[in-house]
Chains A and B, each alone.
Chain A
Amino acid sequence: MKRFVGFVRKEFYHIFRDKRSLFILFGMPIAQILLFGFAITNEINNVDIGILDQANDVTSKEIINKISASKHFSIVDIIHQESSIESIFKKGKVKAVLQFENNFGNNLIKEKQANVQVLTDATDPNMASTISNYISSILKKYQQELNENISIDYQIMPQSRMVYNAELKSVYMFVPGIMTVILMLVSAMMTSISITREKEQGTMEILLVSPLKPFQVIIGKVFPYIFLSVINAVVIVLLSIFVFNVPVNGSLFLLGIESVLFIITSLALGILISTISATQQTAMMISLMGLMLPTILLSGFIFPISSMPLPLQVISNIIPAKWFIIIVKGIMLKGIGIGFVLKETFILLLMTLVFIGVSVKKYKIRLE
Chain B
Amino acid sequence: MMKDNNVIQVENLSKLFGDFAAVNQISFQVKAGEIFGFLGANGAGKTTAMKMLIGISSPTSGKATVAGFDVYKETESIKKNIGYMSQKFALYDDLTVKENITFFGGIYGLSKKQIDQKRCELVEELGLQEVTKSLVASLPLGWKQKLAFSVSLLHEPKIVFLDEPTGGVDPITRRQFWEMIYKAAHNGTTIFVTTHYMDEAEYCDRVSIMVNGKIEALDTPKKLKEHYKTDTMNDVFLKLARG
A interface list, Cβ under 8 A from B: 2-3, 6-7, 9-10, 13-14, 17-18, 201-203, 205-212, 367-368
Which residues in A have their C-beta under 8 angstroms from that of B58? 368
Q: Which one of B37-45, B79-87, B230-238 is at the A interface?
A: B79-87
Residues on A with beta carbons closer than 8 Å to the beta carbon of B87? 202
Question: Apart from A6-B106, A201-B92, what are 4 other A-B pairs with CB-CB below 8 Å?
Answer: A14-B94, A205-B84, A209-B54, A210-B107
B149-186 interface code vs A (CB 8 A; 1 in, 0 out): 00000000000010000000000000000000000000
Are A207 and B86 in touch, CB under 8 angstroms?
Answer: no
Query: Contact between B106 and A368 (Cβ–Cβ < 8 Å)?
Result: no
Residues of B within 8 A of A208 (CB): 56
Whether A3 contacts B94 by the Cβ 8 Å rule is no
A196 to chain B, nearest CB (A): 14
In contact, A201 and B103 (Cβ under 8 angstroms): no
8 tightest A-B contacts by CB? A202-B88, A6-B106, A202-B90, A209-B84, A203-B90, A211-B79, A17-B94, A210-B107
* B29, CB-defined interface residue at 8 Å: no
> Which residues of chain A come closer than 8 Å to B90, judged between CB atoms?
201-203, 205-206
Bound-complex Cα distance A201 to B136 (A):
13
Query: What chain B residues lie within 8 Å of A6 (beta carbons)?
Result: 102-103, 106-107
Taking a contact as CB atoms under 8 Å apart, the answer to whether A209 and B82 are in contact is yes
Report chain A residues within 8 Å CB of B106. 2-3, 6-7
CA distance A10 to B109 in the complex (A): 15
Q: Chain A nearest CB: distance from B20 CB in Å? A: 14
Residue of A14, A206, A367, A368 near B84 (CB, 8 A) is A206
**Chain A residues whose CB sits within 8 angstroms of the CB of B99 once the complex forms:** 10, 13
Q: Assess the A367–B57 pair: CB atoms within 8 A.
A: yes
Q: Which of B55, B92, B93 contacts A10 (CB 8 A)?
A: B92
Smallest distance from the beta carbon of B22 to chain A beta carbons, Å?
12
* Contact across chains for A201 and B107 when beta carbons are under 8 A apart: no
A-contact 0/1 string along B52-94, CB 8 Å cutoff: 0011111000000000000000001001101011111011111
Given contacts A6-B102, A201-B90, A202-B90, contact A212 B95 (CB under 8 A): no
Selected contact of B95 from candidates A13, A202, A205, CB within 8 Å: A13
A207 partner residues in chain B, CB cutoff 8 A = 107
**For the complex, is B28 an interface residue (Cβ under 8 Å from A)?**
no
Within 8 A of A (CB), among B25-52: none
Q: A203, B55: Cβ atoms under 8 Å? A: no
In the complex, the answer to whether B79 meets A13 with C-beta atoms within 8 Å is no
Q: How far is the CA of A214 from the CA of B58 in the complex (A)?
A: 15
Number of interface residues of B (CB under 8 A): 29
**Distance A208 CA – B57 CA, assembled complex (angstroms):** 10
Residue contact B88 to A368, C-beta cutoff 8 Å: no
**B108 interface residue (CB < 8 Å to A):** yes
Bound complex: CA of A205 vs CA of B92, how far in Å? 13
Known contacts A202-B90, A203-B90, A206-B90; is-contact A7 B55 (Cβ 8 Å): no
Shortest B29–chain A CB gap in Å is 22
Distance in angstroms between the alpha carbons of A14 and B85 in the assembled complex: 21
25 contacts between A and B (CB under 8 A): A2-B106, A3-B106, A3-B109, A6-B102, A6-B106, A7-B106, A7-B107, A10-B92, A10-B95, A10-B99, A13-B94, A13-B99, A14-B92, A202-B86, A205-B86, A206-B84, A206-B85, A206-B86, A207-B107, A209-B79, A210-B79, A210-B108, A211-B80, A211-B107, A211-B108
- Given A2-B106, A6-B106: A203 in contact with B54 (beta carbons within 8 A): no
* Alpha-carbon distance between A7 and B95 when the two chains are bound, in angstroms: 12
| A209 in contact with B56 (CB, 8 Å) | yes
A10 engages B80 (CB within 8 Å): no
Complex-state Cα separation, A202 to B104, whole angstroms: 14
Bound-state CA distance A207–B56 (Å) is 11
Closest to B102 in A: A6
Q: Is the CB of B103 within 8 A of A10?
A: yes
A209 to B106, CA, bound (A): 14
Shortest C-beta distance, B221 to chain A (Å), equals 28
B112 CB, min distance to chain A CBs, angstroms: 9
Bound together, the chains give a CA A152 to CA B121 distance in angstroms of: 100
Alpha-carbon distance between A4 and B92 when the two chains are bound, in angstroms: 17
Measured between C-beta atoms, what is the minimum distance from A26 to chain B in Å? 18
B88, A201: Cβ atoms closer than 8 Å? yes
Are A211 and B76 interface neighbours, CB within 8 A?
Answer: yes
Q: Chain A residues near B57 (CB, 8 Å)?
A: 367-368
Question: How far apart are the CA atoms of A212 and B109 in the complex, in Å?
Answer: 10
Docked pose: A14 CA to B57 CA in angstroms: 29
**Interchain CA distance A212-B93 in the complex, whole Å:** 21
Contact A212 B92, beta carbon cutoff 8 Å = no
A300 to B45 Cα, complex, angstroms? 52
Residues in chain A near residue B94, CB distance under 8 A: 13-14, 17-18
Which chain A positions have C-beta within 8 A of B91?
A: 203
B163 to A, closest residue via Cβ: A205
Bound CA span A234–B168, Å: 48
Least CB separation from A2: chain B residue: B106
* Distance of A116 from chain B, by nearest CB (Å): 68
Q: In this complex, what residue of A is CB-closest to B80?
A: A211
Measured CA separation A208–B106 after assembly (Å): 14
Write the chain B residue with the least CB distance to A7: B107
**Which residues of the other chain, A, contact B109 by a CB distance below 8 angstroms?**
2-3, 211
Which residues on A sit within 8 Å (CB–CB) of B92? 10, 13-14, 201, 203
> Which of A13, A211, A367 has most chain B Cβ within 10 Å?
A211
| B161 cross-chain contacts in A, Cβ below 8 A | 209
- Bound together, the chains give a CA A2 to CA B107 distance in angstroms of 9
Q: Nearest-CB distance from B98 to chain A (Å)?
A: 11
